[in-house]
Amino acid sequence: RVWEAGEAGDVAASWSGPHFVVLCGGDEDRARDVAAALTSARCVVVGGGGEGVPARYEAAVLQTLELLQRIVAEKPKDEVLIQLVVAGAGAEALFGGLAGLLRTARLEHPKLRGQIVVVAADESAAQIVAHLQESARRPHEQAVRYSAGTREVASWRELSPDAGVAMPWRDGGVYLITGGAGGLGLIFAEAIARGAKDAVIVLTGRSELDDGGHARLSGLERLGARVAYRRVDVADGAAVRSLIAELRESHGGVSGIIHAAGVIRDSFLLKKTADEIHAVLAPKVAGVVNLDEATADLTLEFMILFGSGAGAFGNVGQADYAAANALLAEYAAWRNEQVRRGERWGRTVSIAWPLWRDGGMQLPEASERQQRQMGLHPLATEAGLEAFYRALAGESGEGDEIAVLSGEAGALR
Ligand SMILES: NC(=O)c1ccc[n+]([C@@H]2O[C@H](COP(=O)([O-])OP(=O)(O)OC[C@H]3O[C@@H](n4cnc5c(N)ncnc54)[C@H](OP(=O)(O)O)[C@@H]3O)[C@@H](O)[C@H]2O)c1
Q: Is 54 in the pocket of ligand 1 (CB under 6 A)?
A: no
Q: Is 359 near ligand 1, meaning CB less than 6 Å away? A: yes
Is the Cβ atom of 265 under 6 angstroms away from ligand 1?
no
Phi, psi for 150 (deg, rounded to 5): -110, 155
332 and 292 co-located in one domain: yes
pLDDT 10s digits, 241-292 = 999 999 999 999 999 999 999 999 999 999 999 999 999 999 999 999 999 9
Model confidence pLDDT, tens digit, residues 356-396: 999 999 988 888 888 899 899 999 999 999 999 998 887 65
Residue 181 Cα to ligand 1 middle (Å): 8
Distances (CA, A) of 343 to 153, 296, 349: 29, 7, 17
Identify whether residues 251 and 359 lie together within a single domain.
Answer: yes
151 and 248 part of one domain: no
Do 119 and 179 fall within a single domain?
no
Residue 6 lies in a domain: yes
Ligand 1 atom nearest residue 310's Cα? 6
Q: Could you tell me if 240 and 135 lie in one domain?
A: no
| Banded pLDDT at 32 (limits 50, 70, 90) | confident
- The rounded Cα 306 to chain-centroid distance in angstroms is 8
Do residues 388 and 252 both lie within one domain? yes
Report if residue 160 sits inside a domain.
no
373 lines ligand 1 (CB under 6 A): no
Cβ–Cβ under 8 Å, residues 291 and 270 = no
Pocket lining: 306 vs ligand 1, CB cutoff 6 Å: yes
409 pLDDT band (50/70/90 cuts)? confident
Q: Which residue has the CA at smallest separation from atom 23 of ligand 1?
A: 179
What is the CA 117 to chain-centroid distance, rounded? 17
CATH of the domain at 16: 3.40.50.720
Q: Using 50, 70 and 90 to split pLDDT, how confident is the model at 121?
A: confident
Residue 164 belongs to a domain: no
What is the residue range of 44's domain? 2-155
Beta bridge partners of 84: 22, 116
**Cβ-based burial of 218 (10 A; exposed 0-12, middle 13-18, buried ≥19):** exposed
User: 155, 183, 203: which is the final residue of a domain?
Assistant: 155
Q: Is residue 367 part of a domain?
A: yes
Q: How far apart are the CA of 390 and the centre of ligand 1, in A?
A: 22
Q: Does ligand 1 come within 6 angstroms of the Cβ of 62?
A: no
Question: For the segment 172-186, what is each residue's pLDDT rounded down to a tens digit?
Answer: 999 999 999 999 999
User: What is the CA(157)–ligand 1 centre distance, in A?
Assistant: 28
Do the domain assignments include residue 392?
yes
pLDDT in tens, 40-89: 899 999 998 778 999 999 999 999 999 999 999 999 999 999 999 999 88
Alpha carbon distance, N-terminus to C-terminus of the chain:
14
Residues 69 and 187 in one domain: no
pLDDT > 90? residue 189: yes
Residue 165 lies in a domain: no
Calpha distance 241→234 (Å, rounded)? 10
The residue whose CA has the least distance to atom 8 of ligand 1 is 308
pLDDT at residue 10 tops 70: no
Domain total for the chain? 2
pLDDT (0 to 100) of residue 398: 66
Q: Best substitution site from 233, 259, 353 to test ligand 1's pocket, by max atoms within 8 Å of Cβ?
A: 353
The percentage of residues in the chain with a pLDDT greater than 70, rounded to a whole number, is: 98
My answer on whether 146 and 192 are in the same domain is no
Q: Are residues 344 and 372 in the same domain?
A: yes
Length of the chain: 413
Separation in Å, CA 260 to CA 131, 182, 198, 257, 320: 37, 8, 22, 9, 17
- Distance from residue 50's CA to the centre of ligand 1 (Å): 27
Whether ligand 1 lies within 6 angstroms of the CB of 204 is answered as: yes
> Could you report the per-residue pLDDT of 306-357, keeping only the tens digit for each?
999 999 999 999 999 999 999 999 999 999 999 999 999 999 999 999 999 9
Ligand 1 centroid – CA 259 distance (Å): 9
Residues 234 and 148 in one domain: no
Are 133 and 122 contacting, i.e. CB atoms less than 8 angstroms apart?
Answer: no
